[in-house]
């Protein structure tokens, strides 16, 4: 007798598995735990076999019968439906392993293994947001230039020309990786001339404030900012430490010695892949002490409001600057570095070697040797305190007389 939906709904589990038979070998297996599983009993090659058809109610009676009939059609054509399913799964696994996304992730794992965490995060975010949703499922051997062009043009439509160029580079590198494994005949990205597709780009510099009066206004605006406390601290320490935005937001408490007033950034997080030391001024230590009372139990100094397992986003400081009324042409998160570099030199007369070293640029001595992380550390500590006190004086509106010698030289 054929099953009905009412019979199935009224069926109750017992202490042993039991079957509710339908038609043509199909039955519903009711387990003691309450699970209800569709099964098809059939014979193939002289052996009795059972094929899983799904779980009720995810698979209803009508759908289960359609799956049963499809399996019986395979049997009529002398094909074992169980083996056919295994082959189909294997095909899907092969296709998935050879998809553009799978190959791109394999390339990324090798190419970005030693990159800074911020760089890895940015690259994977662009792939996951802009590339994989559009072409990730396509077998890498079937990728055409037109597929890549669709990705690039979609990014262009939102005005992100620099990202479009970067993504073109990522896709090309992934395809060249596939070519090295004999998975493709050629790199399809080589057929794309970005100069013909994208508008010419102007050289873009990170906006920064370098006028002392304007900087004083900025510091007062940060003091009066009504955003979250973690964001306010990130703004203040952006100015006081002038590290790169990615280095700031990925700061961890394990790297900071408050008693020794030192922040040691591991090379894995640095652009130049070398450990970097940031001497902390008294003002910076005071901010971090207040912040530690709130975020000190977690790993990150600046945890995301969405969860302490992640740091604040790369846009947090820039978004705060916009809320304070500063446009992207006036000031950016990266602009704190240019602000410090200019004023330390022009207003405070600090040696450019000290400034460049504290900016973690590739500075070399007169013999062509790169300075190590502790080079001129006492002088750099003096410089960082001088800088913090200078910012305080600008914030208070005091007249600051430029130093025409070379302070902290």
Please identify every residue annotated as catalytic.
Answer: 244, 271, 334, 337, 361, 371
The residue whose two tokens read 């002398």 is 78
The C-alpha atoms of residue 292 and residue 305 are separated, in whole angstroms, by: 15
Q: How far is CA 243 from the centre of its chain?
A: 19
Residue 30 pairs with which residues in a beta bridge? 18, 36
| DSSP for 78-131, written as a single string | T--HHHHHHHHHHHHHHHHHTBHHHHHHHHHHHHTTTS-HHHHHHHHHHIIIII
The C-alpha atoms of residue 360 and residue 267 are separated, in whole angstroms, by: 11
- Residue 125 near residue 163, CB atoms below 8 Å: no
The C-alpha atoms of residue 312 and residue 310 are separated, in whole angstroms, by: 7
Residue 303 pairs with which residues in a beta bridge? 311
How are strands ordered across the β-sheet holding 47-56? Answer: 18-21, 26-30, 36-44, 47-56
Three-state SS at 355: helix
Residue 350 pairs with which residues in a beta bridge? 407
Specify the length of the chain in residues: 409
The C-alpha atoms of residue 358 and residue 370 are separated, in whole angstroms, by: 13
The C-alpha atoms of residue 146 and residue 332 are separated, in whole angstroms, by: 36
The C-alpha atoms of residue 292 and residue 298 are separated, in whole angstroms, by: 9
């Amino acid at each position: 007798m054929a099953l009905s939906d009412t019979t199935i709904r009224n069926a109750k589990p017992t202490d042993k598995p039991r079957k509710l038979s339908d038609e043509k070998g199909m039955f519903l297996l009711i387990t003691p735990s309450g699970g209800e599983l569709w099964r098809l009993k059939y014979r193939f090659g002289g052996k009795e076999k059972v094929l899983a058809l799904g779980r009720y109610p995810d698979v209803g009676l009508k759908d289960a019968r359609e799956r049963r009939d499809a399996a019986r059609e395979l049997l009529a054509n002398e094909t074992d439906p169980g083996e056919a399913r295994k082959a189909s799964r294997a095909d899907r696994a092969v296709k998935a392993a050879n998809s553009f996304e799978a190959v791109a992730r394999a390339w990324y794992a090798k190419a970005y293994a030693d990159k800074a965490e911020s760089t890895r995060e940015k690259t994977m975010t662009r792939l996951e947001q802009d590339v994989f949703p559009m072409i990730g499922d396509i077998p890498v051997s079937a990728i055409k230039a037109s597929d890549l062009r669709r990705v690039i043009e979609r990014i262009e439509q939102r005005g992100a020309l620099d990202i479009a160029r970067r993504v073109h580079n990522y896709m090309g590198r992934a395809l060249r990786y596939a070519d090295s494994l004999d998975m493709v005949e050629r790199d399809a990205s080589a057929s794309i001339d970005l100069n013909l597709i994208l508008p010419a780009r102007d050289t873009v510099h990170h906006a920064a404030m370098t006028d002392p009066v304007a900087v004083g206004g900025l510091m007062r605006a940060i003091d009066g900012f009504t955003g979250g406390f973690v964001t306010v601290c990130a703004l203040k320490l952006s100015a006081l430490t002038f590290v790169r935005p990615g280095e700031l937001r990925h700061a961890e408490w394990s790297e900071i010695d408050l008693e020794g007033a030192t922040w040691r950034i591991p090379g894995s997080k640095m652009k130049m892949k070398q450990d970097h030391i940031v001497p902390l001024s008294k003002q910076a230590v005071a901010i971090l002490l207040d912040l530690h009372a709130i975020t000190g139990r977690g790993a990150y100094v600046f945890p995301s409001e969405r969860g302490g397992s992640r740091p604040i986003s790369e846009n947090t400081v820039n978004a705060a600057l916009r809320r304070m009324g500063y446009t992207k042409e006036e000031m950016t998160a990266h602009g704190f570095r240019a602000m410090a570099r200019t004023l330390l030199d022009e207003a405070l007369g600090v040696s450019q070697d000290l400034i460049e070293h504290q900016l973690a640029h590739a500075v070399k001595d007169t013999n062509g040797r790169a300075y190590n992380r502790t080079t001129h550390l006492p002088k750099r500590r003096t410089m960082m305190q001088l800088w913090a006190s200078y910012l305080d004086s600008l914030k208070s509106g005091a007249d600051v007389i430029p130093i025409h010698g070379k302070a902290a030289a």
